């Protein structure tokens, strides 16, 4: 992997004059033009806007106006983050043609930091899915094997980074939707502490779980993206006040004395042997590098998946009530208002979204609220309690990101429960609001990437990045997707 295929490497080239933002952006757009017919990572490629932003970034740098680590860097956005003047669909027919009048806070911060927005990426409709097959505009394919899924729901963003049609990307993580596709496509994907990144302008799926996070090729790059988009936002009532910590302060400090907990409940029988072997091998290397490794039991993890699939659909059923044919998006006419709303929603929403709305509405209904939603909230409290107790013993928790590598397109769509199980290792961090990151550590026998997850306590990004950086170094993972682009071009 060339230095210029990383954000930090490209940033250094911009500043020493050996590359330009226009050159970097043209290379990303060229890669997209060559590969989109095979992978369908983008829904909207903003070629004109990206090149204009790149020219502006070059002029600013030439004038000594350096906006930060992402200045001049091509970045892609998941299409559930609103962008002023650019269509935002959430991969749903119900929002087809919707052009927002404002941009999400994270978009504003990227642009203020000089980043170049290349376009909007494909996702599972309204971020509900784990394979990016549930999109009204067709599935995204994994560049390692285009007959396989890239994970989801942020599969499009993951693929742009894996293939080189962007140097970084943003996704949203509600139950693992950044980390799981990162694992399946061989990139770094990170979910921050809940509230560390503003959700203003993120079209919600489940408001108490949603969090925006970065996709990058290295852990250090993930630090730089998070540092650009994080921080208090008065537009978001859940935003954490106060100054940001030095997120990357632990990079390069090694593992000596770091207490690492191996979660026994994440050592499941259905986890593929190659995943188990790679994760175990990295843990052995961590211990040999000075980490203090111990097994940790988190009994509530057994129930986290079930709790999530009650809480998230319940919140979705409320959030998606706004898409009624009156205020946003498409409308299908009917004889009266009730018929118009019913037809609009039936025509506009896909099968998976309808399934989750129905599940959530049922869980919240009279006579079922306490038995389902109320019990799920109690499990959520148990997950937090178990994690808080674990972090009194260890600094971080580790295990697989996903129990499997990328599976074939269509393999799990007929069995929702099997699909939901792909999130079994990522969901606890969403229920607790804690940060977590997936780092690629190897390939299985079919040449497909394997992800290693590092979890940390709330606002523990510094130690999480420290450990993740060492995992990256120990793994030495440098393989790239078979469809990945050639070297980024010089000016």
Active site residue 153: yes
C-alpha closest to that of 193 among 62, 417, 475, 387: 387
Active site residue 292: no
Cα angle 311, 312, 318; round to 5: 95
- Name the catalytic one among 92, 103, 131, 153: 153
Tokens 């999109």 belong to which residue?
135
Distance between CA atoms of residues 395 and 389, nearest Å: 11
Per the rule left: phi > 0, alpha: psi between -120 and 50, beta: everything else, 182 is alpha
Structure-derived torsion over alpha carbons of residues 24, 185, 207, 84, reported in degrees to the nearest 10: 20
Neighbours of 413 (CB within 10 A): 17
Inter-axis angle of helices 273-288 and 461-475, to 10 degrees?
Answer: 110
- Name the catalytic one among 78, 120, 191, 412: 78
Helices (H) and strands (E) counted in the chain, each on its own, are 15, 11
Active site residue 78: yes
**How distant is the alpha carbon of residue 485 from its chain centre?**
22
Sheet with 116-121: strands ordered across: 42-45, 116-121, 74-78, 168-172, 212-216, 188-191, 436-443, 449-455, 396-400, 259-263, 292-296
Distance between CA atoms of residues 453 and 438, nearest Å: 4
Per the rule left: phi > 0, alpha: psi between -120 and 50, beta: everything else, 114 is left
C-alpha closest to that of 123 among 35, 25, 238, 44: 44
- Name the catalytic one among 92, 177, 239, 300: 177
C-alpha closest to that of 314 among 373, 255, 251: 373
Active site residues: 78, 153, 177
């Amino acid at each position: 992997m060339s230095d210029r295929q990383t954000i930090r490497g490209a940033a250094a080239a911009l500043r020493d004059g050996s590359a330009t933002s226009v050159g970097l952006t043209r290379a990303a757009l060229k890669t997209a033009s060559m590969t989109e017919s095979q992978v369908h990572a983008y829904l909207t490629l903003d070629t004109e806007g990206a090149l204009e932003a790149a020219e502006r970034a070059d002029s600013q740098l030439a004038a000594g106006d350096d906006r930060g680590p992402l200045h001049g860097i091509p970045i892609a956005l998941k299409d559930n983050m609103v962008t002023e003047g650019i269509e935002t669909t959430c991969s749903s027919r119900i929002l087809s043609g919707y052009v927002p009048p404002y941009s999400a806070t994270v978009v504003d911060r990227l642009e203020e930091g000089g980043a170049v927005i290349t376009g909007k990426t494909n996702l599972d409709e309204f971020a509900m899915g784990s394979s990016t097959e549930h999109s009204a505009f067709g599935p995204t394919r994994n560049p390692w094997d285009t007959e396989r899924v890239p994970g989801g729901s942020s599969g499009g963003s993951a693929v742009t980074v894996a293939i080189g049609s962007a140097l970084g990307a943003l996704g949203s993580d509600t139950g693992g939707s950044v980390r799981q596709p990162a694992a399946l496509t061989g990139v770094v994907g990170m979910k921050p502490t809940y509230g560390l990144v503003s959700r203003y302008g993120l079209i919600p799926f489940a408001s108490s779980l949603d969090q925006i996070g970065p996709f990058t090729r290295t852990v250090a790059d993930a630090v730089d993206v998070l540092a650009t988009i994080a921080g208090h936002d008065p537009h978001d009532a859940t935003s954490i006040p106060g100054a940001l910590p030095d997120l990357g302060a632990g990079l390069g400090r090694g593992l000596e004395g770091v207490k690492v907990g191996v979660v026994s409940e994440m050592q499941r029988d259905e986890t593929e042997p190659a995943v188990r072997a790679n994760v175990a091998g990295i843990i052995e290397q961590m211990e040999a590098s000075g980490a203090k490794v111990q097994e940790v039991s988190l009994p509530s993890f057994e129930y986290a998946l079930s709790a999530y699939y009650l809480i998230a659909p319940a919140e979705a059923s409320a959030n998606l009530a706004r898409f009624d044919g009156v205020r946003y998006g498409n409308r299908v006419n009917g004889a009266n208002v009730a018929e118009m709303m019913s037809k609009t929603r039936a025509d506009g929403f896909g099968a998976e979204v309808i399934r989750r709305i129905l599940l959530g509405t049922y869980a919240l209904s009279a006579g079922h609220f306490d038995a389902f939603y109320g019990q799920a909230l109690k499990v959520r409290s148990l997950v937090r309690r178990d994690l808080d107790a674990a972090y009194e013993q260890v600094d971080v928790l580790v295990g697989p990101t996903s129990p499997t590598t990328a599976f074939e397109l269509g393999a799990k769509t007929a069995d929702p429960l099997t699909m939901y199980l792909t999130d079994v290792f990522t969901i606890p961090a969403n229920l607790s609001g804690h940060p977590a990151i997936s780092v690629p550590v190897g390939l299985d026998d079919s040449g497909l990437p394997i992800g290693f997850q590092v979890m940390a306590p709330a606002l523990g990004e510094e130690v999480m990045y420290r450990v993740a950086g060492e995992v990256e170094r120990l793994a030495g993972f440098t393989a790239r997707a078979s469809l990945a682009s050639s070297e980024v071009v010089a000016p």
